């Protein structure tokens, strides 16, 4: 335990998202208005990790919320994708005994099939803090308990997806994704949402959803966490409440079903998402849950940065943002009383 303004941190961890590294000249987002710094994103990641290495209170683990490498790497074929992934993983591996927990995003799935990640050791840190469900050979969602009063629950918002099933076209989740998608977006370009209104704007292939099986698992995890009085942070690549801002183009396809499960259990204190790049936050007035979309590294100017360090204090989670990431103080549902 160490201190932040005189308050001891029971456990400290890092948060970073949307590095989208590519060995490529700078470009822009799909709208052509926001610059993407493809090579420099790796420098910003290294700076973030160097900062974590120098923290006086040891960073126990890192949450990487998805899109570690950019889809454009796949233009150079599989070798290029592997080269980019190796480059982007190197900084995390330099943390040595500090594991990184990865979330898979759409750009990751532009480079590799989901079967690659299901089998990859990057999804199963060897120094795992997991005590219950780790990513398995079947699922990319998982939970772990880094502190008796803090549980992380990672959702896979591309389980029902048009992405990542190229080598398993008969997978029921891929077939279900196609059926759902056809009901909402009949365009040839599956990422075109022009003309769609309101929540329908989420029906782009760069978003996705979760299965009933995952929702059932989520409910079981949250029920146990509530009984054990564990504070829960949900991590996800695609946000589940961005509609509040009118930014429906980055929203999980069945976000309402996920929110309904969360609303049943008081243990959830925060939802951390990536994917939307500019970042936003909102406290759900019904549940008190703090939703945060963490700003992307890829669209952060050289000289600035986009990451955060979170500390579990006696009665709050203090998230200290750097650069484009704001800071937050989130009240714990179950306080930690020190003797």
Binding stretches for Zn ion (CB under 5 A) = 67, 105-106, 275
Q: State the residue number with the nearest CB to Zn ion.
A: 275
Residue 211 Cβ vs Zn ion, minimum distance, rounded to whole Å: 19
Residue 106 Cβ vs Zn ion, minimum distance, rounded to whole Å: 4
Residue 102 Cβ vs Zn ion, minimum distance, rounded to whole Å: 13
Q: CA angle at residue 278 from 275 to 284, to 5 degrees?
A: 75
Residue 109 phi/psi, 5-degree rounding, is -80, -10
Residue 277 Cβ vs Zn ion, minimum distance, rounded to whole Å: 8
Sign of the alpha-carbon torsion through 97, 78, 253, 324: positive
DSSP states of 175-189 as a string?
A: HHHHHHHHHH---SS
Pick from 321, 325, 245, 244: which is nearest to 287 by CA?
Answer: 244
Task: Compare residues 275 and 333 and give the one whose CB is closer to Zn ion.
Answer: 275
Task: Compare residues 110 and 265 and give the one whose CB is closer to Zn ion.
Answer: 110
- The gap from C-alpha 163 to its chain's centroid, in whole angstroms, comes to 17
Residue 109 Cβ vs Zn ion, minimum distance, rounded to whole Å: 9
User: Which residues, at least 6 apart from 197, have a Cβ–Cβ distance to it below 8 Å?
Assistant: none
By CB atoms closer than 10 A (0-12, 13-18, 19+), residue 114 is buried
Task: Compare residues 105 and 125 and give the one whose CB is closer to Zn ion.
Answer: 105
Cα separation, 182 vs 65, whole angstroms: 28
Task: Compare residues 176 and 205 and give the one whose CB is closer to Zn ion.
Answer: 205
Asked if residues 251 and 236 have their Cβ atoms less than 8 Å apart, the reply is no
Task: Compare residues 67 and 156 and give the one whose CB is closer to Zn ion.
Answer: 67
Residue 206 Cβ vs Zn ion, minimum distance, rounded to whole Å: 6
Task: Compare residues 162 and 221 and give the one whose CB is closer to Zn ion.
Answer: 162
């Amino acid at each position: 335990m160490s201190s932040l303004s005189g308050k001891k941190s029971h456990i400290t961890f890092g948060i970073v998202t949307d590095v989208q590294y590519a060995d490529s000249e700078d470009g822009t987002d799909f709208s052509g208005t926001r610059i993407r710094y493809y090579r420099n994103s790796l420098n910003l990641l290294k700076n973030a990790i160097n900062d974590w290495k120098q923290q006086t209170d040891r960073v126990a683990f890192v949450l990487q919320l998805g899109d570690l490498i950019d889809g454009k790497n796949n233009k150079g074929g599989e070798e290029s994708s592997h080269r980019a992934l190796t480059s982007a993983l190197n900084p995390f591996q330099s943390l040595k005994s500090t594991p990184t927990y990865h979330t898979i995003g759409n750009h990751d799935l532009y480079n590799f099939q989901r079967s690659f990640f299901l089998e990859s050791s990057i999804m199963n840190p060897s120094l795992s803090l997991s005590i219950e469900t780790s990513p398995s050979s079947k699922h990319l969602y998982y939970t772990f308990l880094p502190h008796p009063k803090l549980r992380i629950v990672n959702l896979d918002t591309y389980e029902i997806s048009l992405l990542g099933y190229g080598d398993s076209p008969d997978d029921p989740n891929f077939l279900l994704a196609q059926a759902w998608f056809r009901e909402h977006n009949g365009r040839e370009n599956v990422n075109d949402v022009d003309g769609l209104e309101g929540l329908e704007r989420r029906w782009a292939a760069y978003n996705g959803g979760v299965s009933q099986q995952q929702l059932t698992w989520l409910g079981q995890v949250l029920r146990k966490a509530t009984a054990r009085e564990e504070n829960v942070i949900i991590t996800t690549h695609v946000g589940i409440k961005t509609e509040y801002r009118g930014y429906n183009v980055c929203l999980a396809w069945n976000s309402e079903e996920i929110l309904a499960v969360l609303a049943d259990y008081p243990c959830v204190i925060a939802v951390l998402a990536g994917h939307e790049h500019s970042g936003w936050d909102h406290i759900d007035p019904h549940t008190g849950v703090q939703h945060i979309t963490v700003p992307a590294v890829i669209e952060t100017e050289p000289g600035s940065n986009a990451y955060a360090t979170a500390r579990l204090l006696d009665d709050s989670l203090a998230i200290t943002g750097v650069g484009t990431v704001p800071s937050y103080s989130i009240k714990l549902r179950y306080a930690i009383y020190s003797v």
